[in-house]
């Protein structure tokens, strides 16, 4: 059904398990502290995170100790200028404390300047890597190119169906916010379509545009500055988008409850 609009020696050997356990505990504690600091720095309202449905395939993969996330995104999903860690990498670090030691593998396909329909052509190759979760970031190029919204919705639905047939859950992520571009392009129309498709198909949706707009209006990041502020702004955005995505995935997968 489809709406109309619609990732040594032996003596020393005896102590290796203990040492490994202590090291793992220290690393997890350190990750938890770092995660708490990031959450505070990247605080946001809940309006941009839509935890529709659940993530059963990802939960099963996590239970088996083999969680794998595939990321299909536009240029911002890859390495961006001076930013050392783009949002797929900061997501991986942010969600680590929720995974109870399970190593997360991420498969990232970054397609600069492509519409959702163009991204869809490489989706089978990404799904061949058997991710239990697909994070699909799209919509920016479609909005800029004024792609028909019904066609855009149909492509989203096609991608969701393909991912689920391949055994992967899906999370959708919308376009980013730019003060300059927002005066020229109607992003909200495409974001609305993504939200509607996500709700209809029980797919979690991260409204990146809303997040970034809130941070900018709150004065925590300068998205209107020149090159002298670009690096700091980009780092903040990639850190905080990754953190928000980890929160959304954790909520949909039932991982956010703190251990007693």
Per-residue pLDDT of the chain (260 residues; tens, 9 = 90+): 334 444 333 333 332 232 222 223 333 333 333 445 555 678 777 789 999 999 999 999 999 999 999 999 998 887 665 556 789 999 999 999 999 888 999 999 998 999 999 999 999 999 999 999 999 999 999 999 999 999 999 999 999 999 999 999 999 999 988 877 878 889 999 999 999 999 999 999 999 999 988 888 877 776 776 665 667 888 888 899 999 999 999 999 999 875 44
Please tell me the distance from the alpha carbon of residue 163 to that of residue 107, in angstroms, as a whole number.
14
Residue 107 forms part of a structural domain: yes
Q: What is the pTM of this model?
A: 0.82
Structure tokens at 93: 């670090």
pLDDT value, residue 76: 82
Q: Residue 164 burial (CB < 10 Å; 0-12/13-18/19+)?
A: middle
Helices 227-252 + 208-217 axis angle, to 10 = 130
pLDDT value, residue 150: 97
pLDDT value, residue 231: 76
Please tell me the distance from the alpha carbon of residue 232 to that of residue 58, in angstroms, as a whole number.
33
pLDDT value, residue 9: 31
Please tell me the distance from the alpha carbon of residue 186 to that of residue 200, in angstroms, as a whole number.
22
pLDDT value, residue 27: 32
Residue 122 forms part of a structural domain: yes
Residue 137 forms part of a structural domain: yes
pLDDT value, residue 228: 58
Domain residue limits at 112: 42-252
Provide the domain count of the chain.
1
Which DSSP state fits 61? H
Here the CATH number for the domain that contains residue 47 is: 3.40.50.1110
pLDDT value, residue 233: 82
- Closest to 199 in 3D by CA, of 51, 63, 17, 32: 51
pLDDT value, residue 39: 57
Asked whether the beta carbons of 172 and 203 are under 8 A apart, the reply is yes
Residue 3 forms part of a structural domain: no
Residue 19 forms part of a structural domain: no
Residue 32 forms part of a structural domain: no
Residue 257 forms part of a structural domain: no
Residue 9 forms part of a structural domain: no
pLDDT value, residue 225: 67
- Per DSSP bridges, beta strands 133-137 and 205-206 are unpaired
pLDDT value, residue 111: 86
């Amino acid at each position: 059904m489809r709406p109309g609009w619609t990732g040594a020696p032996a003596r020393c050997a005896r102590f290796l398990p203990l040492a490994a356990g202590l090291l793992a505990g220290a690393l997890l504690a350190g990750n938890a502290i770092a995660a708490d600091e990031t959450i505070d720095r990247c605080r946001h309202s809940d309006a941009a995170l839509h935890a529709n449905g659940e993530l059963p395939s990802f939960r099963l993969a996590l239970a088996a100790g083999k969680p794998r996330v595939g990321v299909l995104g536009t240029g911002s999903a890859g390495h961006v200028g001076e930013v050392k860690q783009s949002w797929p990498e900061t997501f991986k670090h942010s969600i680590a404390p929720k995974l109870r030691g399970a190593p997360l593998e991420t498969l990232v396909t970054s397609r600069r300047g492509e519409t959702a329909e163009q991204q869809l052509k490489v989706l089978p190759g990404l799904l061949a890597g058997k991710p239990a979760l697909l994070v699909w970031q799209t919509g920016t190029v479609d909005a800029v190119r004024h792609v028909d919204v019904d066609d855009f919705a149909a492509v989203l639905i096609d991608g969701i169906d393909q991912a689920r047939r391949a055994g992967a859950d899906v999370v959708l992520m919308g376009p980013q916010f730019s003060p300059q571009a927002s005066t020229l392009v109607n992003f909200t129309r495409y974001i609305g379509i993504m939200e509607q498709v996500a709700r209809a198909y029980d797919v979690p949706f991260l409204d990146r545009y809303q997040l970034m707009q809130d941070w900018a209006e709150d004065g925590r990041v300068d998205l209107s500055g020149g090159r002298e502020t670009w690096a700091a702004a980009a780092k903040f955005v990639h850190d905080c988008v990754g953190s928000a995505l980890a929160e959304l995935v954790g909520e949909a997968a039932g991982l956010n409850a703190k251990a007693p």
